[in-house]
Amino acid sequence: MGKKITNKVTWVGKVDWELKNFHGHEYSTRRGSSYNSYLIRDEKVVLIDTVWQPFDKEFVSRLKKEIDLNEIDYIVANHSEIDHSGALVELMREIPNTPIYCTANGAKIIKGHFHQDWNFVTVKTGDTLDIGESKLVFVEAPMLHWPDSMFTYMTGENILFSNDAFGQHYATESLFNDIADQSELYEEATKYYANILTPYSRLVTKKIEEVLALNLPLSMICTSHGVIWKDNPAQIIEQYLKWADDYQENQITLVYDTMWDSTRIMAEAIAAGIEEADPSVKIKLMNTSKEDKNDVVTEIFKSKAILLGSPTINNGFMHSIGGLLEMVTGLKMKGKKAAAFGSYGWGGEAVKQLTEALKKAGFTVKEDGKRSQWVPDDTELQSLKEYGKEFVAFLNEK
Ligand code: FEO
């Protein structure tokens, strides 16, 4: 059955504790996720979003226990991605004429997914829908994170249904943010922002400023994944403004892969040099073939600078580094510095290639990457340590 959020709003979504990967295998969801759907009962009855398709039958059958489906006056589809629209086919089989409120892009994409000509009512920012005591106010949020994304604000209850924005892939039975483990919650919220929203940071800032300028009272943010922000909902808005502002902590992350340990030894020696030059900086080492790729992206997001390392193999670099570079390039992080390093036997092309790839990904790069041939001896270890110190000096340059 659903869970009561307020007298008028009931959560009717699905908590997916077993989900371990999302977007294919592009996003790891080690703490599961949820697809939050909400039923509003005012003079009119409104369903906000649905759930992912594998749970469509379960969703519709649970919804039937909550309400006679024919009593649903309107459906609002804040976002057409199938984790929220996936149960529409099953639902619309039962109530085929129910109007679906969405953006013009939303209608196009839902049609593109399901090839159904449902009763779409397209809305724009500022459009409203009277549902009795309350009104729904629609706010388009294009590219946060799809062209169709939209927020819906409910007056009276003062709830922002924000869909993906402010969400986390985090399964929780209790639903509310204050009951969740705070460090887990923020870890997942940071990972979600870093891996999904970073490329749209300028739009995040603009949209939040636009919504704040409306001076709408806010008692809750009902997201489509993870917790409902009920206790001090402004906290996640403030955090988003920080994350969107080219976020960085006093952290340097050394990200590498290694074949016979030489590149790992290099990473450790460079890290020792960094630590000696700046004992205040937080340093992390991550082997990309052993760490979760999304965790690596999150640590890069939190860092002011990174060192990227790979040995040379077949005139190039290792595939786990290639995959990571693809992710990082797409995320368009700004205001970060970087350098490349790696061991080699002959050739040694990887470091130059990584240097170029880091520039392409938007980092300010130290031109002279660090190469070590075969296994570093004591002299080379000292030279690597010096390189770490030079890197700190490079960070201190204007
Ligand atoms: Fe949760 Fe963009 O879908």
DSSP letter for each residue of 286-350: EETTTS-HHHHHHHHHH-SEEEEE---BTTB--HHHHHHHHHHHHHT--S-EEEEEEEESS---H
232 and 306 part of one domain = no
| Centre of ligand 1 from the C-alpha of residue 167, in Å | 9
pLDDT tens digits, the chain, 398 residues: what are they?
799 999 999 999 999 999 999 999 999 999 999 999 999 999 999 999 999 999 999 999 999 999 999 999 999 999 999 999 999 999 999 999 999 999 999 999 999 999 999 999 999 999 999 999 999 999 999 999 999 999 999 999 999 999 999 999 999 999 999 999 999 999 999 999 999 999 999 999 999 999 999 999 999 999 999 999 999 999 999 999 999 999 999 999 999 999 999 999 999 999 999 999 999 999 999 999 999 999 999 999 999 999 999 999 999 999 999 999 999 999 999 999 999 999 999 999 999 999 999 999 999 999 999 999 999 999 999 999 999 999 999 999 98
Domain termination residue (choose one: 214, 244, 274): 244
- pTM beyond 0.75, yes or no: yes
135 and 25 part of one domain = yes
Domain of 259, CATH number, reads 3.40.50.360
188 and 324 part of one domain = no
169 is annotated as an active-site residue:
no
Domain of 23, CATH number, reads 3.60.15.10
80 and 168 part of one domain = yes
Instruction: Give CA separation, 272 vs 267, 282, 300, 370, in Å.
Output: 9, 12, 19, 15
284 and 229 part of one domain = no
| Centre of ligand 1 from the C-alpha of residue 244, in Å | 19
> Among residues 99, 152, 383, which one has the least CA distance to residue 91?
99
115 is annotated as an active-site residue:
no
Burial string for 386-397 (b: 16+ CB within 10 Å, else e) reads bbbbbbbebbee
Q: Which of 27, 101, 170, 192 is catalytic?
A: 192
159 and 79 part of one domain = yes
Is the CB of 84 within 6 Å of ligand 1? yes
Is the CB of 224 within 6 Å of ligand 1? yes
89 and 55 part of one domain = yes
20 and 42 part of one domain = yes
56 and 193 part of one domain = yes
Domain termination residue (choose one: 218, 244, 270): 244
83 is annotated as an active-site residue:
yes
DSSP H stretches of helix in the chain = 56-66, 82-85, 88-94, 104-114, 182-192, 201-213, 234-244, 262-277, 293-302, 319-331, 350-360, 378-396
Is the CB of 298 within 6 Å of ligand 1? no
225 is annotated as an active-site residue:
yes
Domain count, the chain: 2
Which domain range does residue 388 map to?
252-395
Sheet arrangement for strand 74-76:
3-4, 9-11, 38-41, 45-48, 74-76, 100-102, 120-122
130 and 269 part of one domain = no
129 and 34 part of one domain = yes
